[in-house]
Amino acid sequence: MPELLIELFSEEIPARMQQQAGETLVRLLTEALAPLKPEGLKAYTGPRRIAASCTLDAMVPGRTLSERGPREGAPDKALDGFTRKHGVSREALTLQNGFWVLKREEPALSAQDHLVATLPDLLRRFPWPKSMRWGAGSSFTWVRPLRRILCLLDGNVIPFTLAHGDDNGHNLQAGDQTEGHRFLAPGAVAVSGTANWQETLRSRFVMVNAAERRTVISKGLAELAGSEGLSVVPDAGLVDEVAGLVEWPVPFLGRIDEQFMDLPAEVMQVSMRVNQRYFALRNSDGTAAPRFAFVANIVPTDGGALVVAGNERVLRARFADARHFWDLDRKQTLHFRLVALDNITFHAKLGTQGERTQRMVRLAGLIAPMVGASKEDCERAALLSKTDLTTGMVGEFPELQGVMGGYYARHDGETQAVSTAISEQYMPRGPGDTVPTAPVSVVLGLADRFDMLTAFFAAGEKPSGSGDPFGLRRAALGIIRLIRENTLRLDLVKLFTLAAEALPEALQNAPDLGLLPQFIAERLRVQLRSEGARYDCLAAISVGNTDTDIVRLLARAQALQDMLETEDGKNLLAATRRAANILRIEDKKDGPHEKTPDASLYTQIEERDLASALDHVEPAVEKAFAEERFTDAMKEAATLRAPLDKFFEAVTVNAPEPELRLNRLHLLARLVRMMRLIADFTQIEG
């Protein structure tokens, strides 16, 4: 099969756009080359190029196209319009099943001709998040000025151009040339295929595979750090970004001046990451090391001495700025900054950050006894929680919200519990983040998120589709993790009600507030799905259940899942569904059949055995649920499997005698009602 290679060489592509661009190129080529059945489509991305390669068929096979036209006997105008549209005469049409039909033979097409016909349009409609125009004479846009197009089919150039009519397409046309490293091996060079392209560019200091660059960066930095007994602070996002900035990664270590080592480790790390794309290092005991790591895009002739010195000089200036904010911010206590929160708008309908703080203080005081935390510490932590928004450090580095508040609180002499709670208030920030366990920290995290969700839902700002500008889904997941991982027994409806009571009066009865418990339930199902757990069990026990105690709900769901994984549980599920289906059908005829069954009408031992089993199991299940012995409840329910199987084997539910039929339906209805105490089994998948 012929091999296709296409490379689009441009000025520097933003690192954040490269991976998506590679995926988009593969998707568009898959669609455009479908008639050629492409195989092994692979993308290559880098700072100045996106490329793709694959194998494909040599020809698009010929085919017969058939298009139905007007009906036989249709007006001449309709027939003339159809023939004019397709550029044929009436003689080219044939009658088929009462319609005029046009059949055309489409000849086979070479892969080269197909590529020439499709690639220009593919490139003209390539969707970049942001694109630009340059030069004159063309409306063609690209993320940055496109300089070369390399397109080869089995080593031969595919002859196409981006010119279209009066648009010169920047005089871009396909060729066989690429370019190496901008500084280490500048200039054009011809290639003959994918393997030769990769080898040629490697010899010219370009790694075309982003995954290889990431590996070289990670391993190189780890080896350099390890040689000095240090470790690199994990930062996969920064590795990805740097891999999108360099074509030939060369790792180095630099030194941090001792005068800056008393800055908070987070300040140094964020300053290095945000401003310079440097990596932070740690000593073996976890403390910040007086070293940093970076990746150059050149191979210095002096072993890197000049490059390292230059980066150290830049970092000194960055840290001097951070030192200025650190020293200046500590001249005012967090308590003194409270008044400034009244000048920061939280939301047009929800007032200022100062007003939000007062809501959080009230809510934290109410949650504290539910968690067993000090009310005084919780209220103090909530009062000071947002004051670091007024500091210069957080103004410069918003990523340090909360973290800096914790440092400044300790400097001001606040208690350890209050300081820690302020620093941990936004945790967990994401799926891989740790969850606070200190009681005051947990209370502050819950108060912040319950107020946020309640306030924004009341203001009509609930998430829609993929849009979630205020991070409310993340806030809901934060609530769930705080509750689950600290095993908190909380009534969510009560907490949302308490939070709503502090909102502006006009918003306290907003209709969307009633959606909050369901919003949390949906996020909980999403989390269970991501963990590989059976979220259908949670859905089954939630139907008709007003309980919002997450710990209790998950315990019930797990007990149900454990039962359904046993043989008795599987058979009980099948039998219960069978009973429910029979009732659904018969209820349409003369239902509902909700009366208590009459024991005197039992004519078979299997009926009596099932009724007797229900007499024992029903109160046992209710008692076990009341005592939160959910596993015991499921074990009791599973004992119904044997009498229920025998019932369906021996008893005809729709007996010819009307009174027997109704009584047996009443018995099945009793069974279904009892099983609904456990779960709605129609929600169980499979």
Q: Could you please report the per-residue DSSP string of 104-172?
A: EEEPPEEHHHHHHHHHHHHHHT---SS-B--SSS----BSS-EEEEEEEETTEE---BS-BTTB-GGG-
Q: Which residue's entry shows tokens 């929680």?
A: 385
Nearest CA-CA partner of 241 in 292, 270, 277, 269: 277
Q: 222-259 pLDDT, tens per residue?
A: 999 999 999 999 999 999 999 999 999 999 999 999 99
Instruction: Determine the pLDDT at residue 533.
Output: 80
Long-range contacts of 25-28 (CB under 8 A, 24+ apart): 25/50, 25/51, 25/52, 25/126, 26/52, 28/122, 28/126
Q: How does residue 6 score in pLDDT terms, banded at 50, 70 and 90?
A: very high
How far is Cα 569 from Cα 430, in angstroms, rounded to an integer? 36
Please state the rounded mean pLDDT for residues 167-186: 96
The stretch 567-575 carries a mean pLDDT of 87
In the sheet that holds 288-296, the strands lie side by side as 231-232, 279-282, 288-296, 250-255
pLDDT at residue number 32: 95
383 phi, psi to nearest 5 deg: -65, -40
Q: Which residues pair with 55 in a beta bridge?
A: 3, 39
- pLDDT per residue as tens digits for the range 308-354: 999 999 999 999 999 999 999 999 999 999 999 999 999 999 999 99
The pLDDT assigned to 546 comes to 78
What residue spans define the domains of the chain?
A: 3-58+111-204, 63-106, 210-330, 336-532, 560-678
- Checking if the pLDDT of 594 tops 70, the result is yes
Collect all residues with Cβ–Cβ distance below 8 Å to 337 and sequence separation of at least 6: 387, 388, 390, 391
Say which residue the tokens 């970076």 belong to. Answer: 294
Position 87 confidence tier, pLDDT thresholds 50, 70, 90: confident
Contact (CB, 8 A) for 344 and 390: yes
The model's pTM: 0.81
Task: Give the mean model confidence (pLDDT) for residues 288-303.
Answer: 96
Q: Are 173 and 161 in contact (CB under 8 A)?
A: yes
The predicted structure's pLDDT at residue 686: 65
| Overall average pLDDT of the 271-278 stretch | 95
Dihedral (Cα; 591, 596, 602, 607), 10-degree rounding: 90
Helix 567-590 to helix 550-564 angle (10° resolution) is: 100
Q: Quick one: pLDDT at residue 142?
A: 97
CATH topology assigned to domain 336-532: Hypothetical protein af1432 (1.10.3210)
Start-to-end Cα distance in the chain: 43
Instruction: State residue 362's pLDDT score.
Output: 97
Which of 474, 469, 447 has the alpha carbon at shortest distance from 459?
469
For residue 647, which of 625, 627, 671, 623 has the smallest C-alpha distance? 671
Q: Which residues are within 8 A (CB) of 154 and not within 5 positions of it... i.e. 6 or more apart? A: 2, 3, 193
What share of the chain has pLDDT > 90, as a percent? 76
3-state secondary structure of 198: helix
Q: Is the pLDDT of residue 599 over 80?
A: yes
How many whole angstroms from its chain centre is CA 127? Answer: 22
Which whole number is the average pLDDT over 282-303?
95
Q: What is the pLDDT of residue 103?
A: 84
Confidence of residue 72 (pLDDT cuts 50, 70, 90): confident
- Residue 339 CA to residue 26 CA, distance in Å, equals 55
* Angstrom distance (rounded) from CA 472 to CA 38: 42
Token pair belonging to 519:
């919003």
In the structure, what pLDDT confidence band is assigned to residue 279 with cuts at 50, 70 and 90?
A: very high
Average pLDDT score over residue span 583-601: 89
What's the whole-number mean pLDDT along residues 462-477? 91
DSSP 507-572: GTT-GGGGGHHHHHHHHHHHHHHHTT--HHHHHHHHTT-----HHHHHHHHHHHHHHHTSHHHHHH
pLDDT given at position 535: 81
Residue 148: per-residue pLDDT: 97
CATH number 2.60.120.330 given to 560-678: no
pLDDT for 548 equals: 86
Convert the pLDDT of each residue in 516-548 to its tens digit.
Answer: 998 998 899 888 888 888 888 888 888 777 788
Residue 65 has pLDDT above 90, yes or no: no
Average pLDDT, the chain: 93
pLDDT at 22 over 80: yes
Tokens encoding 298: 């050149």
Collapsed DSSP state (helix, strand, coil) of residue 236: helix
| Per-residue confidence (pLDDT) for residue 108, from 0 to 100 | 86
Which residue, 330, 457, 479, 338, is CA-closest to 392? 330
Q: Residue 607: which pLDDT band, with cuts at 50, 70 and 90?
A: very high
**Range 137-142 average pLDDT:** 94
